[in-house]
Amino acid sequence: MMLSVWLRVIRVRFLLASVIAVSVGLTLNWWQNNLIDPFDAVMVFAGVMALHASVDLLNDFWDFKRGIDIKTNRTKMSGGTGVLPEGLLKPSSVYRAGVAFLIIGAIIGGYFVITDGIIIAIILGFAILSIYFYSTKIVDSGLGEFFVAVKGCMIVLGTYYIQSGQITIESVLGGIVVGSLSSLVLFIASFPDHDADKSKGRKTLVIVVGKQKAAKLFWLFPLVSYFAIIIGVSTNLFPPMSLISLLGIPLMIKSGLGLRKNFDSVESLVPYMSSTLMFSRITGALFVVGLLIGL
């Protein structure tokens, strides 16, 4: 029972975004250099998972402390996990767990700073500061979606750099693919929380431009990802099989059109938030598969 509560507050199913990001970095290196260091790969997975768990735990804690989660109409895709409003865990326990995971991620990252140098130090420093201040400073300044996009990109860059010792155009393009897909999920999930977030001082992209205009911005995120893939393939930076990522287009269209029609209805929007999550994960996974079978 208690384990299921902790898995719920960590939002385990959303950790797949980071799994895909690390996998992209690893497969890009395999595609370019035919080499993977298994120990470093496992350590990167562990460190990134810890940091991802940290940001989710701290986000739940601060949203509860600020009263946001009490005002949201919670769905399986938005409105927080509900663990703290339901009294299933103590806020202090969730906060301590978030800090503990942050420290674990920092320690693992510190190992790579020692072995791989200043580039990893910069990426790790950005990660630690942005994770800790995400729910109090970053989301209040309208930079939440940008942060998630940069975070996804940096996971790819960091993973690739640890394996190869360099940052290449391929890794940057791969990072853009992952970052845009991750940001898309956060973007659509912020529609139902618009009123609660706004009442407590948050500034999501949806709040900044308004729901109706924001619904039109949906297409920007997947198009950036697809553009990066197509540029990579057309310049021989990615194998042609990477284009199997385009198989997710029907899901993208379904989600975008559904958002346009239902942006102001929480219950009606839930299926399209789910299909957006599915689109993001499937597209990222297909990108990894395309890199693997394109060898």
- How many whole angstroms separate alpha carbon 127 and alpha carbon 155? 9
Separation CA 177–CA 152 (nearest Å): 9
Q: Are 156 and 25 in contact (CB under 8 A)?
A: yes
Q: What is the DSSP letter of 135?
A: I
For residue 277, pLDDT beyond 80: yes
CATH number for position 49: 1.10.600
Confidence at residue 236, expressed as pLDDT on a 0 to 100 scale: 93
* High-pLDDT (> 90) share of the chain, %: 64
Q: How far apart are the C-alpha atoms of 278 and 113, rounded to whole Å? A: 34
Amino acid identity at 284: G
CB 274 within 8 A of CB 254: no
What's the pLDDT at 79?
Answer: 66
3-state secondary structure of 279: helix
The DSSP output letter for 199 is H
Mean pLDDT across the stretch 152-162? 96
Q: What are the tens digits of pLDDT across the range 42-92? A: 999 999 999 999 999 998 898 888 887 777 777 777 767 778 888 888 999
Which tokens hold the place of 144? 């939440």
Q: Which domain holds residue 249?
A: 2-293
pLDDT (0 to 100) of residue 284: 96
Q: Is the dihedral of CA 45, 248, 149, 193 positive or negative?
A: negative
pLDDT tens figures, 217-246: 999 999 999 999 999 999 999 999 999 999
Q: What is the pLDDT of residue 1?
A: 57
- Domain tally, the chain: 1
Task: Return the number of other C-beta atoms located less than 10 Å from residue 45's C-beta.
Answer: 17
Of 20, 29, 89, nearest in space to 61 by CA = 89
